[in-house]
Structure 1
Amino acid sequence: MAISDPEQAFRQTGWAGLRARLFHLYFLLRRPMTLGVRGLIHHRASNSVLLIHHTYVPGWQLPGGGVEVGETLGEALVRELAEEGNIALTAAPVLRSMHFNRRSSRRDHVAFYVIEAFSQTAPKLPDHEIAEAGFFPLDRLPEGTTPATLRRINEVFGGEQPSPYW
Structure 2
Amino acid sequence: MPLAPLVRRVRHGMTLGVRVIAIDSEDRVLLVRHTYAPGWHLPGGGVDIGESAEEAARRELREETRAEITGPLTLHGFFFNAAVGGRDYVACYRAGDVQLNPLPGPTYEIAEVAACPLHALPADTTPATRRRIAEAVNGDVPGDCW
> Partner of 1:35 in structure 2?
16
> Partner of 1:83 in structure 2?
63
What SS does the corresponding residue of 1:128 show, helix, strand or coil? coil
Question: Residue by residue, what CA displacement relative to the aligned partner does 1:112-137 show, whole Å, maximum 9, x if unpaired?
Answer: 10113122332122111111101111
Higher relative contact order (CA 8 A, sep 6+): 2
User: Which protein shows a greater Rg?
Assistant: 1
Superposition RMSD in Å: 1.5
Q: Is the 8 A contact 2:75 2:91 kept in 1?
A: yes
**Residue 72 in structure 1 maps to residue 52 in structure 2:** yes
Cα offset, 1:161, TM superposition: 2.1
Q: Is the 8 A contact 1:61 1:146 kept in 2?
A: yes
Equivalent-residue separation in structure 2 for 1:133 and 1:70 (angstroms): 28
User: Which segments of 5 or more consecutive residues in structure 1 lack a partner in the other structure?
Assistant: 1-28
Aligned-pair identity in percent equals 44
- Out of 76, 93, 103, the position equivalent to 2:73 is 93
What SS does the corresponding residue of 1:39 show, helix, strand or coil? strand
Question: Residue by residue, what CA displacement relative to the aligned partner does 1:65-108 show, whole Å, maximum 9, x if unpaired?
Answer: 01111111111111111111111111221111100011112211
> Partner of 1:159 in structure 2?
139
**Residue 140 in structure 1 maps to residue 120 in structure 2:** yes
> Partner of 2:97 in structure 1?
117
The size of the alignment, in residue pairs, is 136
- Out of 30, 34, 39, the position equivalent to 1:50 is 30
Cα offset, 1:157, TM superposition: 1.4
Q: Is the 8 A contact 2:24 2:99 kept in 1?
A: no
> Partner of 2:7 in structure 1?
none
Q: Which protein has the bigger helix share?
A: 1
Q: Which protein has the bigger strand share?
A: 2
Amino acid at match of 1:33: M
> Partner of 1:23 in structure 2?
none
Cα offset, 1:158, TM superposition: 2.5
> Partner of 1:150 in structure 2?
130
User: Which segments of 5 or more consecutive residues in structure 2 lack a partner in the other structure?
Assistant: 1-9
Q: What's the TM-score once normalised by structure 1's chain length?
A: 0.77
What SS does the corresponding residue of 1:95 show, helix, strand or coil? strand
